[in-house]
Amino acid sequence: MARGVIARYRDFLPVTEATPHITIGEGDTPLVAAPKLAQVIGCRELYFKLEGCNPTGSFKDRGMVLAVAKAVEEGRRSIICASTGNTSASAAAFGARCGLDTFVVVPRGNIALGKLAQALMYGARVLAIDGSFDEALNIVRAITEQHPVALVNSINPYRLEGQKTAAFEVVDELGDAPDYLCIPVGNAGNISAYWKGFCEYHQRGRAARRPRLLGFQAEGAAPIVRGHAVPNPQTVATAIRIGNPASWQLAVQARDESGGLIDMVSDAEILEAYRLMASVEGIFGEPASAAPFAGLRKLVRERRAGLDLSGARIVCVVTGSGLKDPTTAMDVAPGYSILPPTLDAVEAAMGW
Ligand SMILES: *Cc1c(COP(=O)(O)O)cnc(C)c1O
């Protein structure tokens, strides 16, 4: 039976006797070796951590389970978040599970179809605004200051606490931290959570060392790389279409303490990596989840100084499932054949 993140890592989490042990099967996701793409990069070992295997199809479930459990513990009856999509799907699922009213504020027209379908199916009240994620987040922050509704965005500290368990799993699986951990950066909570997880495991003697973190933003939404907020962020990778990350300082600290970097990749590079991961290794992440592999290719191409990838063991976090965003997949995928229903036609199309 699935234990879930709270039961599995309770010694490392801020849970009490009063915290409900909820789970819908989050965590314990596969770490999959990718030998062919390791050759493309020229590294010793490359792994993808498949966070799309979480119950709502993204890593957001790891933090959401704890944020919602704590909201229930505190007697809250409703939760709210701003979202580019995956946070809303996850909040809606755990909200449904706990009988809470869930409100999600999303940027209209910039939320992938699968994510919107999930939020609606789980029974959330979806409030779409003609604005950006950053505006949605400002609105929900103001609402939670005035009304008794729990904020479950990643500025809720329980979100990062739950998300750090992914770093624990990587170490548990590999026996130590990898040399590099590559991750997309949007609101910058996840890179901060991984760093917290690696540091805690290191402190408690579960890991001999800590990895260098390589974070990647999209070129049209790269406030941390550019050093200033981006008022109207643009990228095909909607999960990282964020112009003013809430965890900016934490991410910079994680980057610097780990001796890593935060760089940016173009939409074209993201989409090429997206197709390669699926067609070469059978790993179908959503576009944002291809940013780390796209970033690795860029670093190799530019022969970036100070990085020794050749002997390295590298983990890329595939933050969300490719099925979340079928529209982008159909836009970039090769076409398919439409044929008459005859043996001849199908054989001919197969080249026989
Ligand atoms: C939320 C999300 C991200 C970005 O994570 P942050 O913590 O906001 O940096 C990346 N990829 C996917 C699929 C996401 O859902």
* pLDDT tens column, 226-271: 999 999 999 999 999 999 999 999 999 999 999 999 999 999 999 9
Domain residues for the domain of 148 are 60-157
Residues 203 and 274 in one domain: yes
What's the whole-number mean pLDDT along residues 288-309? 95
Question: Which residues are CB-neighbours of 105 under 8 A, at least 6 positions away?
Answer: 80, 81, 82, 83, 127, 128, 129, 136, 139, 140
67 SS3 class: helix
Would you say the CB of residue 83 lies under 6 angstroms from ligand 1?
A: no
Please write the tens of the pLDDT for every residue from 158-185.
999 999 999 999 999 999 999 999 999 9
Q: 349 in a domain, yes or no?
A: no
Examine the domain organization and report whether 122 and 235 are in the same domain. no
3 state DSSP class of 107: strand
Q: Tell me, yes or no, whether 80 and 145 share the same domain.
A: yes
Model confidence at 305, pLDDT cuts 50, 70, 90, reads confident
Is 351 a member of any domain?
Answer: no
Q: Is the pLDDT of residue 98 over 90?
A: yes
pLDDT by residue (tens digit) across 45-78?
999 999 999 999 999 999 999 999 999 999 999 9
pLDDT of residue 110 exceeding 90:
no
Residue 113 lies in a domain: yes
- Give the pLDDT confidence of 19-50 residue by residue, as tens digits: 999 999 999 999 999 999 999 999 999 999 99
Ligand 1 atom at minimal distance to the Cα of residue 320: 13
Q: Is the pTM above the cut of 0.75?
A: yes
In a domain, 341, yes or no: no
Per-residue pLDDT of 79-89, as tens digits, reads 999 998 999 99
Closest CA to 223 of 186, 184, 250, 256: 186
Residue 104, pLDDT score: 96
C-alpha 121/C-alpha 124 separation (Å) is 8
Average pLDDT over residues 322-341: 95
42 and 112 share a domain? no
Tell the residue nearest (CA) to atom 1 of ligand 1: 239
Both 239 and 146 in a single domain?
Answer: no
Q: Is the CB of 288 under 6 A from ligand 1?
A: yes
In a domain, 337, yes or no: no
pLDDT digits (tens, 9 = 90+) for 131-164: 988 899 999 999 999 999 999 998 999 999 999 9
**H-run or E-run covering 274:** helix 267-281
**Residue 333's pLDDT is what?**
93
Answer yes or no: do 21 and 87 share one domain. no
Q: 9 CA distance to ligand 1 centroid (A)?
A: 22
The pLDDT, as a whole number, for residue 156 is: 95
Predicted local distance difference test score (pLDDT) of residue 111: 86
The per-residue pLDDT for 134 is 87
Both 141 and 194 in one domain: the answer is no
DSSP state of 243: S
Mean pLDDT check: name the lowest of 195-209, 254-268, 304-318.
Answer: 304-318
Ligand 1 site, residue 239, Cβ cutoff 6 A: yes
| Residue 267 within any structural domain of the chain | yes
Mean predicted lDDT score pLDDT of the chain:
96
| Distance from residue 186's CA to the centre of ligand 1 (Å) | 6
Q: How far apart are CA 347 and CA 172, in angstroms?
A: 49
**Does some domain include residue 339?**
no
CA of 342 to the centre of ligand 1 (A): 46
Question: Based on the domain organization, do 230 and 81 belong to the same domain?
Answer: no
How many distinct structural domains can be found in the chain? 2
Residue 102 Cα distances to 136, 154, 188, 285, 329, angstroms: 15, 16, 23, 26, 29
Note whether 231 and 272 are same-domain residues. yes
49 within ligand 1 shell (Cβ under 6 A)? no
Give the CB-side neighbour count of residue 341, counting CA atoms within 13 A.
0
- Given a cut of 90, is residue 18 above it in pLDDT? yes
Is residue 86 in contact with ligand 1, taking CB distance under 6 Å?
Answer: yes
* CATH code, domain with 116: 3.40.50.1100
**What's the 215 CA to ligand 1 centre distance in angstroms?**
11
CA-to-CA distance for 215 and 181, rounded, in angstroms?
8
Query: Does 257 lie in the same domain as 202?
Result: yes
User: Is the residue at 241 inside a domain?
Assistant: yes
Domain boundary (132, 157, 182) is at 157
CA 287–ligand 1 middle distance (angstroms):
11
